[in-house]
């Protein structure tokens, strides 16, 4: 009958089994290993510089985050990816029918649907960023599971998802242009160098969207009311901004108020770039840039201050 080995016997056996003395190593291979670059793993550090470095360091994951955001839009649906083009199509049609058909909003010498779809493109970019930005931190743990991943890249990855929305709405707008080209033989939108101004307007709307997301994403983890509340604020903001109507159609006493809206300038830039409407006023542009600088800085500080504590609550 075999007897169990004592701890001392087991220890001797284990010592005898370990080979690889250092002298046996291949000198060339050893030299190669010891010439490798050094990298370090250190505790988490606070500060804007470190968060921006997170973004650069995790830039390889941005396409993955973006893909996750887009896939969420049709996850658990019966129609699947068909919802991707269906949603902007239905949205544009219903709003264009309401404003252009029932309310008879003026759109100059072009069909209302073209005025509306091009005017809405920039807003869609902004709205998508604010909507998904408010959920940004709550969604973050489902993207990378079982490990810590920085959160700011995930918020910025929403730009990719919002750009996809912008692309879809732009496709609808271009489809409307081609419809009228074949139906009436008139090209209502002609490419020009002012398109660059439209691009700048979209960039400004994107910056505003990210700024808002920097506030709402950590705070909505503390209280979901922030997200629900901001959805209604966005809707209200939509009607205050001259998207579905030209700013000139407002009564004169209300036009200065509309110009004080920081989103008026970028929306007007988009319309000016695509549709050659009146350009935004200097006052309107100044309001936009000043608001963006001030709120952007505060938003970044808010995000730095609350994101780590907020994620602990998830």
Partner 1 sequence: MSWTRFASHVRLDEGVLLSVEGISKGPKKPAAQPPQWMVRFLPGVTWSAEGRDDGEDFEDDDLMEQQEETRRSGALNEVSFQLSPGDGLGLLGDTNATQILMTLLAGLYPPSTGRVAIRGRIAPLFRFSQLNFSDGTGKSSLKVISRFLHWPPDLLRKRWDEIVDFAHLDEVEEFGFPPKSVEYEEARTKRLFLSSVMHLDASVYLVFKAFAGSDTAMAERCSDLLEQRQREGCAIVQNGRDPEQVARFCREAILFKEGQAITRGRLGSVATFMAEQRAQAEQKQQQRIPIRALLVGKDGELPILGVDGGTLEIELDVFQSLAVWLSLRFAYSEGHEHVKVDRLEPLDVTPGIYRVGVEVPPGLIDEGVYTATLVATGRPIEGEEGPPPSKELLTFEVASETDSQSGPVFGVVPDGGQQAAYPRDVEWRVHRVET
Residue 9 or residue 192: which is nearer to partner 1 going by CB? 9
Residue 43 or residue 252: which is nearer to partner 1 going by CB? 43
Residue of 1, 2, 14, 183 that binds partner 1 (CB under 8 A) = 14
Residue of 3, 37, 190, 253 that binds partner 1 (CB under 8 A) = 37
Shortest separation between residue 78's beta carbon and partner 1, angstroms: 14
Hey, what are 230's tokens? 């901001």
To which residue do tokens 């079982």 refer? Answer: 146
* Degrees to nearest 5, angle at CA 176 with 170 and 179: 145
Residue 25 or residue 278: which is nearer to partner 1 going by CB? 25
Q: Which stretch binds partner 1 (CB under 8 A): 33-41, 170-178, 263-271, 287-295?
A: 33-41
CA-based diameter of the chain, in Å? 105
Residue 76 binding partner 1, by CB under 8 A: yes
Residue 223 or residue 298: which is nearer to partner 1 going by CB? 223
Residue 3 binding partner 1, by CB under 8 A: no
> DSSP letters along 226-287, please?
HHHHHHHHHHHHHHHSTTSS-GGGS-GGGHHHHHHSTTHHHHHHHHHHHH--PPPPHHHHHH
Q: Which stretch binds partner 1 (CB under 8 A): 88-96, 163-171, 199-207, 215-223?
A: 215-223
Q: Which stretch binds partner 1 (CB under 8 A): 35-43, 88-96, 161-169, 281-289?
A: 35-43
CA distance 59 to 41: 18
Shortest separation between residue 38's beta carbon and partner 1, angstroms: 5
Residue 304 binding partner 1, by CB under 8 A: no
Name the CA dihedral angle for 80, 82, 86, 88, rounded to a multiple of 10 degrees.
Answer: 80
Torsion over CA: 159, 267, 292, 215 (sign): negative
To which residue do tokens 């201050």 refer? Answer: 305
Determine whether 70 is exposed, middle or buried from the number of CB atoms within 10 Å of its CB (0-12, 13-18, 19+): middle
CA distance 99 to 106: 9
Shortest separation between residue 142's beta carbon and partner 1, angstroms: 5
Hey, what are 169's tokens? 């709405």
Give the binding site for partner 1 (CB under 8 A).
7-8, 10-15, 17-18, 20-22, 24-26, 29-30, 32-34, 36-45, 50-51, 53-54, 57-58, 60-61, 64, 72, 75-76, 135, 138-139, 141-150, 221-225, 309-310, 312-314
């Amino acid at each position: 009958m075999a007897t169990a080995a004592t701890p001392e016997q087991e220890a001797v056996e284990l010592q005898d089994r370990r080979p690889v003395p250092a002298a046996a190593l291949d000198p060339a291979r050893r030299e190669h290993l010891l010439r490798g670059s050094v990298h370090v793993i250190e505790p988490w550090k606070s500060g804007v510089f470190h968060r921006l470095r997170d973004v650069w360091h995790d830039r390889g994951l941005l396409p993955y985050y973006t893909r996750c955001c887009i896939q969420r839009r049709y996850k658990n649906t019966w129609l699947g990816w068909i919802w991707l083009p269906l949603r902007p199509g239905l949205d544009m049609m219903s709003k264009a029918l309401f404003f252009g058909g029932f309310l008879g909003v003026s759109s100059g010498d072009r069909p209302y649907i073209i005025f509306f779809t091009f005017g809405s493109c920039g807003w869609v970019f902004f709205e998508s960023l604010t909507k998904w930005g408010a959920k940004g931190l709550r969604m973050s743990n489902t993207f990378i599971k079982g490990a810590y991943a920085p959160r700011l890249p995930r918020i910025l990855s929403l730009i990719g998802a919002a750009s996809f929305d912008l692309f879809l709405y732009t496709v609808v707008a271009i489809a409307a242009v081609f419809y009228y080209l074949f139906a009436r033989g008139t090209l209502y939108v002609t490419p020009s160098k002012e398109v660059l101004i439209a691009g700048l307007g979209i960039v400004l709307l994107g910056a505003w969207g990210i700024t808002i997301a920097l506030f709402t994403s950590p705070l909505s983890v503390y209280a979901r009311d922030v997200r629900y509340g901001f959805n209604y604020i966005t809707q209200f903001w939509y009607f205050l901004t001259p998207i579905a109507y030209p700013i000139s159609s407002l009564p004169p006493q209300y036009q200065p108020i509309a110009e004080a809206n920081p989103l008026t300038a970028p929306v007007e830039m988009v319309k000016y770039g695509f549709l050659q409407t009146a350009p935004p006023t200097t006052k309107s542009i100044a309001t936009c840039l000043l608001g963006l600088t001030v709120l952007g800085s505060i938003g970044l500080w808010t995000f730095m201050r609350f994101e780590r504590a907020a994620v602990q609550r998830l």
